[in-house]
Amino acid sequence: AKIVSDLPRQGANRAQTTTMVNAINLAIDERNGKAGNIKIEYESLDDATAQAGQWDAAKCAENAQSAAQDDEIIGWIGPFNSGCAAVEIPILNEAGLAMISPANTYTGLTKPTPDESEPDKYYPTGERNYARVIVTDVQQGQAGASFMDDEGVETVFILDDRETYGKGVADEFQTAAEDLGIEVVGREGIDGSAPNYRSLMNKIAAENPDAIYFGGIIENNAAQLIKDKVGAGMSNQEVIFVGPDGIFVDELISQGGNAVEGIYVSFGGIPPEKLGPAGQEFIDKYEENYNDAVQPYTAYAYEAANVMLDAIERASKDAGGDVPDREAVVEQVFATQDYQGVLGTWSFDDDGDTTLTKLSVQEVEDGEWKLDRILDVQDMQ
């Protein structure tokens, strides 16, 4: 049987996704290339294009349609970007293929949002086939707002890159910020391909906010946005800048240089060095086998792969040792309860979301990401 991953293998996230592919390979190698008695073939798909420099909706659709028609494929790991997931889930739902994402956080993929068509529009069969091992933007929005509240922020200007993920996490942040009494003094969507944002930042500076929140991904000019913020006289010490995990990438520091010093990002999980004993064991194994440094989502890809392989193994046993059908694998993915993995002990809920509740806030300090604090969203309910 075959499993595939679908990740942006070119562009600013390439270093990140290289480690994710390595982690999936490691999970398979540790089982001698098998799930139970079923020999597993693995293929890494690329949903980015050189022209886009990031994930591309047409490529996402093409990859999903190709997999849907390949009967050997019984498991899908990915995608990385929520916008890509919005394209792929309906296609793979029709095909009955089990999906586990290590990285999608957009709430509407699994839970209701103000858009009344969500999440049902992603599941034309009426049955769920998609799950994720990372928390949603509800929690990430809460974490960003809670962090600002702790820092004494009273006014904030919100920006987003107009994509599914970026707008979605900015919406969740806005709701959480307003609930905490933080005044939103303005909100705008940006053009991710604009040459600069000087006039926008001058406009924001005139509003004199305590903080700026940006919902978006690194590929949509996040570094330039921060450069122009600082250039407009809003230093990161005087006007706090917070973004989501879509910009939690080493490339942001390379692109932004000194301008990104002192910014903060939320991450929908905890960094590798703070994982428990099983997580540390994974990191040690990874570093023994690969030269690429562990990235924020490396362990999440490893977890997703192991959950998929376990589901295939259980489904195969139910099938008398034969290769299970796709429906049986989906059932076993959703049957994942009290899973003891590298991320801790957790379960999937009925919607396919993880019961994990811890997130982290990172700061750029001396040109590197440094852990600022860990937040438990259970405490924010």
The 10s digit of each residue's pLDDT in 294-329 is: 999 999 999 999 999 999 999 999 989 899 999 999
Instruction: Output DSSP code: residue 233.
Output: T
pLDDT given at position 381: 57
Instruction: Output DSSP code: residue 294.
Output: P
What mean pLDDT value characterizes the chain?
96
Separation of alpha carbons 35 and 31, rounded Å: 7
* pLDDT, mean of residues 188-214: 98
pLDDT given at position 377: 79
Taking residue 258's Cβ as centre, other Cβ atoms within 10 Å add up to: 12
Taking residue 44's Cβ as centre, other Cβ atoms within 10 Å add up to: 18
pLDDT given at position 273: 87
Q: Is residue 379's pLDDT more than 80?
A: no
pLDDT given at position 172: 96
Q: Which pair of tokens denotes residue 283? A: 């990191």
Separation of alpha carbons 297 and 348, rounded Å: 18
Whether 177 and 156 have beta carbons less than 8 Å apart is answered as yes
Q: How many CA atoms lie within 13 A of 137 on its CB side?
A: 30
Tell me the pLDDT tens digit for each residue of 115-146.
Answer: 999 999 999 999 999 999 999 999 999 999 99
pLDDT given at position 164: 94
pLDDT given at position 378: 80
pTM: 0.92
Type and span of the H or E element at 364: strand 358-365
* pLDDT, mean of residues 80-102: 97
How many residues are there in the chain? 381
Closest C-alpha among 216, 299, 232, 220 to residue 265:
216
Q: Is residue 287's pLDDT more than 90?
A: yes
* pLDDT, mean of residues 165-189: 97
pLDDT given at position 107: 94
Band of the pLDDT at 333, cuts 50, 70, 90?
very high
Taking residue 339's Cβ as centre, other Cβ atoms within 10 Å add up to: 18
